[in-house]
Amino acid sequence: MVGFLASTTQHSRHIEIPARLWLYVLLFIGFVIFLLVLPVVWGAVAEAASGAAEKAAPGTFFLGLGILFVGLVGGFKILDIIGASLVGLVVIGVIVDNYLAAWRVRALIAHPAVSAATAGSRPR
């Protein structure tokens, strides 16, 4: 015990960080970047999909009705599921598109300066 503090071994001044901790840190940084980039990407994708969806909605709706009819008449349950899914997706898309449009109009009416600033235009 007497010579315990006077050891001749040298200690490193660097801290050893385990590889698992590095992995967790990198995953956390990636998750934060993902959360920051997600709204930008989502806005661009939603805007592009909204324009294309308006053009494709009537055709998809009637195609779904046709597949559903063939499935009901022919007794093919898979066609029933596919047809009902197509019709349901179009109906849900129309509801969401109209709901979000109404929500944006209410936001513009309630806070025109804030909404105009967030839309990229200057308030007058």
Is the model more confident about 46 or about 120? 46
Q: What number is the average pLDDT over the span 68-78?
A: 93
In this structure, the chain runs to a length of 124
**83 token code pair:** 């047809």
The rounded distance, in Å, linking the Cα atoms of 16 and 11 is: 12
Res 107 pLDDT > 80: no
Is the model more confident about 102 or about 3? 102
The CA-based diameter of the chain, rounded to the nearest angstrom, is 96
Q: What number is the average pLDDT over the span 23-38?
A: 93
pLDDT band for position 118 (cuts 50, 70, 90): low
Exposed/middle/buried for residue 14 (C-beta within 10 Å: 0-12, 13-18, 19+): exposed
Q: What number is the average pLDDT over the span 61-67?
A: 94
Percent of the chain whose predicted confidence (pLDDT) is above 70: 72
Task: Tell me the pLDDT of the chain averaged across its residues.
Answer: 79
Q: Which long-range contacts (CB under 8 A, 24 or more apart) does 90-96 make?
A: 90/57, 90/60, 90/61, 90/64, 91/61, 93/53, 93/57, 94/57
**The pLDDT of residue 30:** 94
**The pLDDT of residue 20:** 92
pLDDT band for position 43 (cuts 50, 70, 90): confident
